[in-house]
Amino acid sequence: MKTGDVLEKAFVIELKTVKQEGRKPVTMEMLDKTAEEAIKQIDDGHYADSLLEEGYGNIGRYGISFFKKHCRVHYRDGY
């Protein structure tokens, strides 16, 4: 998400769903792990490269995981 001004903050957001395995309950720890995996995917996939090329220097990353009505949001500043 771009703000329109390269001096302002831009964000990269990755959403992931957590799938239930059989009858095993989905825990907050599983949601946290998946949110961290989303941030790692942003980094490993170089998702912010185009923003950097446009001149954005202040880029935040959100990893969001969800299962039904539950979600976890993890944030990392800087890129």
Q: What is the pLDDT of residues 13-31, one digit of tens each?
A: 999 999 988 888 999 999 9
Q: Please give the pLDDT value at position 59.
A: 93
Helices (H) and strands (E) in the chain, counts: 2, 3
Q: Please give the pLDDT value at position 3.
A: 61
Query: Which DSSP state fits 30?
Result: H
pLDDT less than 50: residues of the chain: none
Phi, psi of 61 (to 5 degrees): -125, 130
Burial class, 31, CB count within 10 angstroms (exposed 0-12 / middle 13-18 / buried 19+): buried
Q: Please give the pLDDT value at position 7.
A: 78
pTM for the model stands at 0.85
What are the extents of the domains in the chain? 10-76
